[in-house]
Amino acid sequence: MITTQQYQEDYHRSIDDPEGFWGEQAKKFITWFSPWEKVLSGGFDQLDVRWFQGGKLNAAYNCLDRHLEIHPEQAAIIWEGDDPNESKILTYQALYDQVCRFSNVLKQYDVKKGDRVCIYLPMIPEAAIAMLACARIGAIHSVVFGGFSAEALKSRILDADCQIVITANEGIRGHKIVPLKQQVDIALQECPRVRTVIVVKRTANSVPWNQERDVWYHEAMSKAHPHCPAEVMDADDPLFILYTSGSTGKPKGILHSTGGYLVYVAMTHQLVFDYRPGEVYWCSADVGWVTGHSYSIYGPLLNGATTLLFEGVPHYPTPSRYWDVIDKHKVNIFYTAPTAIRALRREGDHWVTRTSRQSLRILGSVGEPINPEAWEWYYHIVAEKRCPIVDTWWQTETGGIMISPLPGTTPLKPDSATWPFFGIVPMIVDDQGNPVPDGKMGNLIIKKPWPGMMQTVYRDRDRFVNTYFKPFPGCYTTGDQAHCDVEGYYWIAGRSDDVIKVSGHRIGTQEVESALIQHQGVSEAAVVAMPDPIKGQSIYAFVTLKTGIQPSDQLKKECVQAVRETIGPIATPEHIQWTEGLPKTRSGKIMRRLLRKIANNDVSDLGDLTTLADPSVVDALIKERRNVK
Ligand code: WT7
């Protein structure tokens, strides 16, 4: 722990002398096979940023091998199953052994350095093993969240050109079966280049089998050689691709580096969670999201920590589950999302107070703004005012935490992500890029490169440049709205673009619209966000039907189904409003600002409507709104 004054001094140094600062951190947190030639080269002007150029390292070596000399018998992973009677521990030695074996399995199936490997697994230790095995042999993993549909899986496999998929026969969440292999089978009907599917047997149920293509994980592992050297990787060799939604087009493959990413996640994990040797650390995020990558797997394992992986859900078998798991495994640091906090708060305090939670020392929040009620409940009821709350702001693209308190260092203000991490220079600007005065809302941008930042959009550099660097030249655009108070505290309000955060999951409105028009009866669709007391936001869809098609409950079900099949259940529209016409400007642009107001029943001041091609749609939309439950 450092003092507030020390933070301020170090922060200034990190900005004034980034090479000196990050060079030191890179040596402290990472073991390099050979040193870099230059800490930082290039910049945001030419978009030629490189961190630790020439440095050689391996991610799996840093997560595993180097800890074996110090604590081979310490738990690396505590796995808690969906069923509260099922849990197991993998020591660093055991995890190392499994990762080496699986690395050899991958090699046996012809996976080479630079190849992309798709991982579509539930929250089981094999997910970590598969990721680390890829890293060990220099393959690039692309983890796809197990809740995504076959269609979404397919487009990710094709975009990254994966030739191998790792999955499970089935997953289990909240006592329900998740048919993963079935989704893979459907997806692969249109992925001719996938030659191998490695299947973890998570349940006893049998699944259809393709002899030429499918391989049981346990069979391959039992025959695999237990040693595998770690491939020597360049600092800027890619470590992984992770797809995320934006305001336009298909999800983007965010590409992260090896050297810069690892330095950044190791350091942020250590400082933001003040991790102390021997402690049990639990991040409840699924490995299918960036939080799972950076703060369930890489960050904690780089620091030799014990990380808990939880297969289940907060409500099963009771709403005490999170707190029961904390007591069972004596969790010291717990990191979760506001949506889970709100959902558990609604269930009543007794589910919390009947548990001990004495082991807890630090609580974290991530993924969306945490509202005052949720923050206070987390602090007063869950933490019993004993633990600081770190509200961490960051993104898939940033690789690691960007704005967050450091526990014991930053004086907290409820609901504020507080101050920037070392090396991070945020700024709030208006739409023209001019800085706004303190306290005024604006666009959050980042002025200088940091080691955890994305390298590019996989195979689409134009999209990388246009999305992140065109709106405010020379700066990284976050897509978030925020303000900064006179004491330099940042308050993140939410997205300024057409991205919706449903239960902390990032969903592009355009993706949902394209899914809806998949339905034969649908002519046009426009999707907006609506505030939701538990999920933060929910999806509200305006749908126009083709001539002769009548609205009905059945049709509504089919539209919802189209979205679930194209994206997954996380993108399910909460409300569908059948409408005769969408409000369009004379140039044909849908006026979403107006739709947002109508969806939210906030129609007293609709603003300037003079550019509408047909102003009469407004009254119709307001009238139709009354029929939506
Ligand atoms: C978006 C990024 C960060 C890892 C998980 C989500 C929102 C994230 C916070 C926070 C307010 C937050 C932003 C951001 N967000 N953390 N602490 N307070 N908003 O990663 O899926 O890439 O989403 O999540 O809107 O842009 P992601």
The model's pLDDT over 121-154, given as tens digits with 9 standing for 90+, comes to 999 999 999 999 999 999 999 999 999 999 999 9
Average pLDDT over residues 468-483: 98
In a domain, 171, yes or no: yes
In a domain, 58, yes or no: yes
Q: Is 369 in the pocket of ligand 1 (CB under 6 A)?
A: yes
The atom of ligand 1 lying closest to the CA of 397 is 22
Q: Looking at the structure, do residues 286 and 150 belong to the same domain, yes or no?
A: yes
Q: Looking at the structure, do residues 474 and 513 belong to the same domain, yes or no?
A: no
Q: Looking at the structure, do residues 73 and 164 belong to the same domain, yes or no?
A: yes
Looking at residue 535, its amino acid is: K
Q: How confident is the model at residue 607 (pLDDT cuts 50, 70, 90)?
A: confident
CA 95/CA 215 separation, integer angstroms? 21
Average pLDDT over residues 316-338: 98
**Separation of 347 CA from ligand 1 center, angstroms?**
25
Q: Is 368 in the pocket of ligand 1 (CB under 6 A)?
A: yes
Domain that holds residue 597: 503-625
Q: What is the pLDDT of residues 148-180, one digit of tens each?
A: 999 999 999 999 999 999 999 999 999 999 999
Picking from 449, 482, 515, the residue at the C-terminal end of a domain is 482
Q: Is the pTM of this model over 0.95?
A: yes
Q: What is the pLDDT of residue 249?
A: 84
Q: Looking at the structure, do residues 445 and 539 belong to the same domain, yes or no?
A: no
Task: Give which of 148, 157, 168, 155 is closest to 117, Cα–Cα.
Answer: 157
Q: Looking at the structure, do residues 469 and 508 belong to the same domain, yes or no?
A: no
In a domain, 382, yes or no: no
Q: How confident is the model at residue 205 (pLDDT cuts 50, 70, 90)?
A: very high
Pick the residue whose CA is nearest to atom 24 on ligand 1: 367
Looking at residue 590, its amino acid is: I
Q: Check pLDDT > 80 for residue 629.
A: no
CA angle 598–596–429, rounded 5-degree value:
145
> 381 or 609: whose pLDDT is higher?
381
Q: Looking at the structure, do residues 472 and 609 belong to the same domain, yes or no?
A: no
Q: How confident is the model at residue 584 (pLDDT cuts 50, 70, 90)?
A: very high
Pick the residue whose CA is nearest to atom 17 on ligand 1: 393
Q: Looking at the structure, do residues 24 and 110 belong to the same domain, yes or no?
A: yes
Picking from 482, 513, 528, the residue at the C-terminal end of a domain is 482
Q: Looking at the structure, do residues 569 and 449 belong to the same domain, yes or no?
A: no
Q: Is 246 in the pocket of ligand 1 (CB under 6 A)?
A: no
Q: Looking at the structure, do residues 131 and 178 belong to the same domain, yes or no?
A: yes
In a domain, 361, yes or no: no
Q: What is the pLDDT of residue 259?
A: 98
Average pLDDT across the chain, whole number: 97
Average pLDDT over residues 193-221: 98
CA 494/CA 279 separation, integer angstroms? 33
Probe target for ligand 1 pocket from 368, 390, 537, with the most ligand atoms within 8 Å of CB = 368
What is the count of structural domains for the chain?
A: 2
Q: How confident is the model at residue 1 (pLDDT cuts 50, 70, 90)?
A: confident
Q: Looking at the structure, do residues 223 and 295 belong to the same domain, yes or no?
A: yes
- To the nearest whole percent, how much of the chain has pLDDT over 70? 100
In a domain, 454, yes or no: yes
Return the DSSP state at 163: S
Q: What is the pLDDT of residue 267?
A: 98
Q: Check pLDDT > 80 for residue 390.
A: yes
Average pLDDT over residues 624-628: 92
Looking at residue 616, its amino acid is: S
Q: What is the CATH number of the domain that holds 88?
A: 3.40.50.12780
In a domain, 344, yes or no: no
Task: Give me the residue label for tokens 């012809």.
Answer: 110
The answer to whether residues 408 and 274 touch, using CB atoms and an 8 Å cutoff, is: yes
Average pLDDT over residues 285-301: 98
In a domain, 379, yes or no: no
Q: Looking at the structure, do residues 145 and 293 belong to the same domain, yes or no?
A: yes
Q: What is the pLDDT of residues 10-67, one digit of tens each?
A: 999 999 999 999 999 999 999 999 999 999 999 999 999 999 999 999 999 999 999 9
What is the sign, positive or negative, of the torsion defined by CA atoms of 603, 605, 611, 616? positive
Q: How confident is the model at residue 185 (pLDDT cuts 50, 70, 90)?
A: very high
Q: What is the pLDDT of residue 164?
A: 98
In a domain, 439, yes or no: yes
CA 484/CA 481 separation, integer angstroms? 10
Q: Looking at the structure, do residues 56 and 85 belong to the same domain, yes or no?
A: yes
Picking from 448, 482, 516, the residue at the C-terminal end of a domain is 482
Q: What is the CATH number of the domain that holds 554?
A: 3.30.300.30
Give 122: exposed, middle or buried? Use CB within 10 Å, 0-12, 13-18, 19+.
buried
What is the Rg, in whole angstroms, of the alpha carbon atoms belonging to the chain? 24
Tokens representing 75 are 């738990």
